[in-house]
Amino acid sequence: MKFTNYLRGALATMVLVSTLPSCSQAQPSHNTQMNTHMDSVSYALGVLFANNMKSEGMTEINSEALASGFSAVMTDNATMDQEEADGIVRTAMTAMKEKASEAAKEEGETFLAENAKKDGISVTDSGLQYHHDTEGTGKSPDANDKVTVHYQGTLLDGTEFDSSYKRGEPISFPLNGVIPGWTEGLQLMKIGGKTTFYIPQDLAYGARPNPGGPIPPYAALIFVVELLEVEVID
């Protein structure tokens, strides 16, 4: 990530110079006075910049050093040039993402290991876990078939990231065009059935979920799926 991506947000530190004097203070002061339009603009930039950093996992920020760096650039007294700053930020971001990825992998492995011990949970050779909430009575799809389903997807903490129920209509797709956990799992269902799948990260999106989306890298996922229709594709 280029440091230049932060330039617009870095303008916000003009207000942090006076309101965040300590590295232990991560939130803006509630006593900041908004006497001019630029005061409001500066504060708003501070909010945007802080939210951007939080979304990138940069929550342990030395706000005093942050304000000092901004002030130094504005007065042409910076002791660090653009290239060096970019390298430091890029290295820090890489380390944070690697740490978060390892934590996500460990969380998924721990959850799945415990979940596999529960009554009614079946585990396939690939590691996919599932429970038939309602047994279907119709046809089971093959990998090349087209299916129509209703579904809800959540992270392990229960955060919902997608739901056809909320959109008010099911979705249809070729079964071989989705994540491996779905391709394998839906072949274990029959039309009319409802199944909860617990999908390891390597059968889900792994290291490459949709950029900027709600699913973090290496996240194990939970899907509740209703199989409504199967269209045989020759």
Active site residues: 151, 161-162, 179, 205, 223
Q: Identify the H or E element spanning 99.
A: helix 82-115
| Nearest one of 154, 153, 149 to 190, comparing CA atoms | 149
How many residues can be counted in the chain? 234
- Which tokens sit at 133? 């909430």
Q: How many CA atoms lie within 13 A of 149 on its CB side?
A: 30
Helix, strand or coil, per DSSP, at residue 57: coil
Q: Rounded to an integer, what is the distance from CA 70 to the centroid of its chain?
A: 30
